[in-house]
């Protein structure tokens, strides 16, 4: 109740917010995403918006006779800013089969805020079915083109974006990492060459990769910057592990 309740006084809304993590929560004017105002009228409009979307989602989920229209409507909901609706829509798209692939890919191309790459990748894999490896590989090839274009233009402050879940570099990095992980789990050998190419490019860019970033054991914690650097270092290692797993599988066969 403490984190869910909204106090209204003098036309303004107040809620408990945790300003530092770890740290206590304090009653403050409730200004947080996606609202930029503590005005009660703004919150009322948001509540009405959520209720309307909830009804629209229920109606869309019930559609059975027109899968294309259903997928289109689910895709529009998945592009919205109501996280619970996003997740339900993506889950339904994943269960809709290949007809839903264009909508899922559109979400990946235009990621909403908030956004969870794991949910989206899971929907892509489920919708693609037997062709999931092919779809994942095609997306990884696009990511490789992206990093080759963007990597040389980055400044030392690019790592700061990896701490901002809504930042474009965070979203793309998270996607690339998830693609490599999923392709490795599926043992999709045709993607090994792309993973190797991404690894080679990654380690060639001093701003993307520094061997020292992987030296410290952070299992017991570390500074925010150390954790972010470890993530950047880890992407190259994941690519390398995937390539080695595919090679070992071919040897065993």
Instruction: Kindly report, residue by residue over 12-25, the tens digit of the pLDDT.
Output: 888 898 887 778 88
Q: Cα 98 vs. chain centroid, distance in angstroms? A: 21
Q: Residue 31: helix, strand or coil by DSSP?
A: coil
Instruction: State pLDDT tens for residues 88-123.
Output: 999 999 999 999 999 999 999 999 988 899 999 999
**Phi/psi at 91 (5° precision):** -60, -45
Using a pLDDT cut of 70, give the percent of the chain over it.
Answer: 99
* Any domain includes 92: no
Q: Cα 82 vs. chain centroid, distance in angstroms? A: 15
Cα separation, 104 vs 252, in Å, equals: 36
Residue whose pair of structure tokens reads 């947080």 in the numeric block: 32
- Determine the pLDDT at residue 108: 97
Give residue 216's domain range.
131-253
Instruction: State pLDDT tens for residues 142-159.
Output: 999 999 999 999 998 899
Q: Cα 242 vs. chain centroid, distance in angstroms? A: 21
> Which two three-digit tokens encode residue 50?
């959520």
- Determine the pLDDT at residue 33: 67
Rg for the chain (alpha carbons), in Å?
A: 21
Residue whose pair of structure tokens reads 């006084």 in the numeric block: 9
Of the candidates 44, 106, 92, which has an alpha carbon nearest to the alpha carbon of residue 64?
92
* Any domain includes 112: no
* Any domain includes 113: no
Give the pLDDT band of residue 1 (cuts 50, 70, 90). confident
Give the pLDDT band of residue 5 (cuts 50, 70, 90). confident
Instruction: State pLDDT tens for residues 176-208.
Output: 999 999 999 999 999 999 999 999 999 999 999
Q: Cα 8 vs. chain centroid, distance in angstroms? A: 34
Cα separation, 192 vs 249, in Å, equals: 12
* Any domain includes 12: no
Give the pLDDT band of residue 37 (cuts 50, 70, 90). confident
Cα separation, 177 vs 184, in Å, equals: 11
* Any domain includes 9: no
Instruction: State pLDDT tens for residues 156-167.
Output: 889 988 888 788
* Any domain includes 58: no
Q: How many domains does the chain have?
A: 1
The secondary structure element, H or E, covering residue 9 is strand 7-9
């Amino acid at each position: 109740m403490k984190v869910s309740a909204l106090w209204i006084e003098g036309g303004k809304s107040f809620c408990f917010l945790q300003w530092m993590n770890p740290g206590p929560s304090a009653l403050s004017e409730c200004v947080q995403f996606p609202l930029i105002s503590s005005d009660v009228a703004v919150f009322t409009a948001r509540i009405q918006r959520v209720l309307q979307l909830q009804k629209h989602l229920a109606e869309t989920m019930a559609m059975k006779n027109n899968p294309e229209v259903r997928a289109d409507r689910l895709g529009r909901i998945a592009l919205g800013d109501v996280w619970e609706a996003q997740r339900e829509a993506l889950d339904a798209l994943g269960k809709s089969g290949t007809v839903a692939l264009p909508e899922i890919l559109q979400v990946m191309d235009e990621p909403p805020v908030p956004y969870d790459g794991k949910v989206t990748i899971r929907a892509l894999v489920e919708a693609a079915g037997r062709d999931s490896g092919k779809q994942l590989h095609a997306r990884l090839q696009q990511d490789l083109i992206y990093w080759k274009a963007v990597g040389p233009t980055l400044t030392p402050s690019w790592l700061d974006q990896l701490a901002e879940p809504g930042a474009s570099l965070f979203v793309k990095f998270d996607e690339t990492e998830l693609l490599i992980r999923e392709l490795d789990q599926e043992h999709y050998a045709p993607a090994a060459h792309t993973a190797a190419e991404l690894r080679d490019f990654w380690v060639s860019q001093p701003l993307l990769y520094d061997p020292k970033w992987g030296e410290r054991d952070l299992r017991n914690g570390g500074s925010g910057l150390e954790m972010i650097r470890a993530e950047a270092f880890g992407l190259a290692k994941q690519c390398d592990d995937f390539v080695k797993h595919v090679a070992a599988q071919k040897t065993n066969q």
